[in-house]
Amino acid sequence: MISTGSMCDPYQPCEKELKLTRRCLELILQYGFGASVITKSDLILRDLDLFEEISSKSKAVVQMTITAADEELSRKIEPNVCTSKRRYGVLKEFQKYGVPAVVWLSPVLPMITDTEENIRQILEWCFDAGVKGIIMYGAAMTLRSGCREYYYNELDRMFPGLSGKYERMYGDSYLVVSTRHEKLMKIFHEECEKHGVLHTPEDCFRFINEMPERYRQLNLFDD
């Protein structure tokens, strides 16, 4: 499997003209590898034909990040990409063509997206779109130095007074955990279990990385 998107979205707006990600997928298809992409962009639909062909010959997995079900909130905290509801529509399209998907329900922003209503709506979309797994690293987020200052400035701009609450509760902590963590994670695991969806990072990554049996690497001592 060849994967991309962990540190930078492979469907940046310039990809419309440059088509670098599409060329990469063409090479992956040409040489018989599997492909997995993490994105928040509906531009991935342009390459659905390649994902479908890769999936039929080896393996392809679409990974979508969805964190805010409310349309207004989604536009507010992620202004330069399509809304979460649109991403749900993208997952439905890939479902039609039999290309499996994994959703990243991460990060969870304390006092913003850490509500039961938000988590349940995202889960409902995931189950309806037939996703194979959902990755949720707790009802939490991480804030590195530099990112923290930027985030607090944005909180002051969009949610006046909220940065002060963060500072009093979390200070300079790298890991920022919602006070609703235990309740939300209980809901998450129970609902995923009920719907037969993978819900631990380990199981999701195992699914993403495993190739079909016909592509299994031979052991040195195999007969």
Query: Under CATH, which number does the domain 2-139+178-212 receive?
Result: 3.20.20.70
The better pLDDT of the pair 109, 216 is held by 109
Assigned token pair, 220: 């040195």
Q: Is the pLDDT of residue 219 over 80?
A: no
∠ CA 215-221-223 to the nearest 5 degrees? 75
Task: Give the residue among 112, 119, 125 at the shortest CA–CA distance from 77.
Answer: 112
Q: What is the mean pLDDT of residues 129-134?
A: 98
Cα dihedral value 89, 116, 160, 155, nearest 10:
-60
Phi/psi of residue 122, nearest 5 degrees: -65, -45
**Cα–Cα distance for residue pair 76/80, rounded to 1 Å:** 9
**Cα–Cα distance for residue pair 44/29, rounded to 1 Å:** 16
* Residue whose token pair is 């439905």: 92
Please give the single-letter amino acid code of residue 189.
Answer: H
pTM of the model: 0.92
Asked if residues 86 and 42 have their Cβ atoms less than 8 Å apart, the reply is: yes
**Cα–Cα distance for residue pair 72/184, rounded to 1 Å:** 22
| In the chain, where the domains are located | 2-139+178-212
Residues 27-84 have pLDDT tens digits of 999 999 999 999 999 999 999 999 999 999 999 999 999 999 999 999 999 998 999 9
**Cα–Cα distance for residue pair 108/100, rounded to 1 Å:** 24
**Cα–Cα distance for residue pair 191/93, rounded to 1 Å:** 23
* Residue whose token pair is 């492979």: 10
Asked if residues 133 and 204 have their Cβ atoms less than 8 Å apart, the reply is: yes
